[in-house]
Structure 1
């Protein structure tokens, strides 16, 4: 994961930004499926996503039934696209490396369709994240 400073302002050709997205993805039916092995897969996949796409993965945290992602991207990158890429590639990798997880889930969906997002920036409280 990237080691981005709290007060760092990123700059592009025509804009400057200080946006960090705190996204929460619940596991389908709130099942407690996030063990150490699955968490390691999620972290590995997030690092691969950061290497392939213009998304800066800063921190990943988990409970037993949800994933917290703190990431940053240029303002031209749509939040929905970030969510789509993270969910699609992460779930595909989990099912590929640990197929037994898919059999436990209703309909074979690992994450719910929904997610929760909040922005963290210059005026937000970093301690709450």
Structure 2
């Protein structure tokens, strides 16, 4: 469950539901790609002020539930996550680059929605789990953590 982030002059809980489709809506997510994606996202938590509450893949897209600080807009989160995950997936899973004809990993488009803390977070979790055909949860964090 998300917790309030306490900074020197503010206290916030900002949750975002992000959805990134793979380029050409290709079904590129397998165990290797899922593992790289999860590990890279958890490394991002250590370097940036964000927390992945849940990460899940379907055949051709990924859902993220991310908690962050007000300094990071939705667009900044998208850019940060897309660029670093794409680079690392291509580096560590070269077969994906061949599947995508050597191009980009993510489509240019994405979905971003803010999630309310009271009552809506679990609703979004349930939606994400039931939305696709073959949803596979890669990561979930329900443990209290400090930034």
TM-score scaled by length of structure 1? 0.88
Q: Does 1:88 align with 2:83?
A: yes
Change (3 A) 1:95 1:107: closer
After superposition, where does 1:35-114 map in structure 2 within 5 Å? 35-106=30-101, 108-114=103-109
**5+ residue gaps in structure 1?**
none
Query: Matches of 1:46 and 1:75 in 2, distance apart?
Result: 19
Query: Matches of 1:49 and 1:128 in 2, distance apart?
Result: 22
| Per-residue deviation, 1:88 | 0.9
Q: Does 1:128 align with 2:124?
A: yes
Q: Does 1:24 align with 2:13?
A: no
| Per-residue deviation, 1:127 | 2.4
**5+ residue gaps in structure 2?**
126-147
CA-atom RMSD in angstroms: 1.5
Query: Matches of 2:42 and 2:105 in 1, distance apart?
Result: 20
Query: Matches of 1:43 and 1:96 in 2, distance apart?
Result: 15
Q: Which moved more, 1:115-124 or 1:48-57?
A: 115-124
